[in-house]
Amino acid sequence: MNIILLGPPGAGKGTQARILEEERGMKQLSTGDMLRAARTSGTEMGQKVAAIMDAGELVTDEIVIGLIREQIQIGSEGGFIFDGFPRTLPQADALGDLLHETGQNLDAVIEMRVNDDALVERITARSTCGTCGEVYNDITKPIPEDGKCTTCGGTEFKRRADDNADSLKTRLMEYYKKTSPLIGYYYAKGQLTFVNGLGEIDTVKGDIAAALDG
């Protein structure tokens, strides 16, 4: 099964993608994570995108489509969860073509709906485990008192450079200008379903399961 999690920054796509990965053997493809990894390892592409990402703007379609193409060609037995991709109409078209060329289908697009006030609150409270990427939130899911990640025991936690109010404003604007048209695009294709992204993690997880399993 191949699915897209669609929604603004902070909607909970990464958190739900990790749950789906664990519980259904699917593979999370987060272009944001891939780009951050390219930055950390200091590749030419990583250096090129660093300033764009920190400003909260979108990197070129060509770069992210290249990253996704590579992964689709490698394949995943349990299918893919596309997290943060596609973010533009050309990316959505390219994904359709790539899946088609490899004899695969897109099974569902899940829009995670949240209101903008909640996003600001969530994002400015967000941190991740430096070892495994588990997502924490100062209010809803604080780092355990013993300072150890619940998933991997890691003890280093970091905040993303673009998780600040300024960059978030640009990221939201990019979302509404370039990504939100995908809601109509997938609706017209009969592939869109939505869940309320504002609930507890387990509630959202249940709603996604209901959407996928019918």
**Alpha helices (runs of H) in the chain, residue ranges in sequence order:** 13-24, 31-40, 44-55, 61-74, 89-101, 116-124, 165-174, 181-188, 201-213
201 touches 118 (CB < 8 A): no
| Site map (CB under 6 A) of ligand AMP, residues 172-211, x = contact | ----------------------------------------
Query: Residue 114 interacts with ligand AMP (CB under 6 A)?
Result: no
Three-point CA angle 45, 77, 204, nearest 5°: 80
Q: Which is closer to ligand AMP, CB of 6 or CB of 192?
A: 6
Q: How far is the CB of 75 from ligand AMP (least distance, A)?
A: 20
Active site residues: 13, 87, 126, 160, 171
Specify the residue, 68 or 195, whose C-beta has the smaller distance to ligand AMP: 68
Residue 64 near ligand AMP by CB under 6 A: yes
CB atoms within 10 A of CB 176: 11
C-alpha to C-alpha distances, 16 to 23, 55, 106, 116, 189, nearest whole angstrom: 10, 25, 18, 19, 24
Q: Does residue number 84 form part of the binding site for ligand AMP (CB under 6 A)?
A: yes
Q: List binders of ligand AMP among 35-54 (CB under 6 A).
A: 35, 52-53
Number of residues that bind ligand AMP (CB under 6 A): 17
Question: Does 85 help bind ligand AMP (rule: CB under 6 A)?
Answer: yes
Q: How many C-beta atoms surround the C-beta of residue 101 within 10 A?
A: 11
Q: Give yes or no for a contact between 111 and 191, defined as CB atoms under 8 angstroms apart.
A: no
Neighbouring CB atoms inside 10 A of 209's CB total 14
Partners of 135 in beta bridges: 128
Cβ distance to ligand AMP smaller for residue 12 or 32: 32
The verdict on 31 binding ligand AMP (CB under 6 A) reads yes
Is residue 120 part of the contact set for ligand AMP (CB under 6 A)? no
Of 70-78, 83-91, 146-154, 194-202, the window that binds ligand AMP (rule: CB under 6 A) is: 83-91
d(CA 125, CA 113): 19
Query: Which string of x and - marks every residue 139-168 that binds ligand AMP (by CB under 6 A)?
Result: -----------------------x------
Residues that bind ligand AMP (CB under 6 A): 9, 31-32, 35, 52-53, 56-59, 64, 84-85, 87, 91, 162, 171
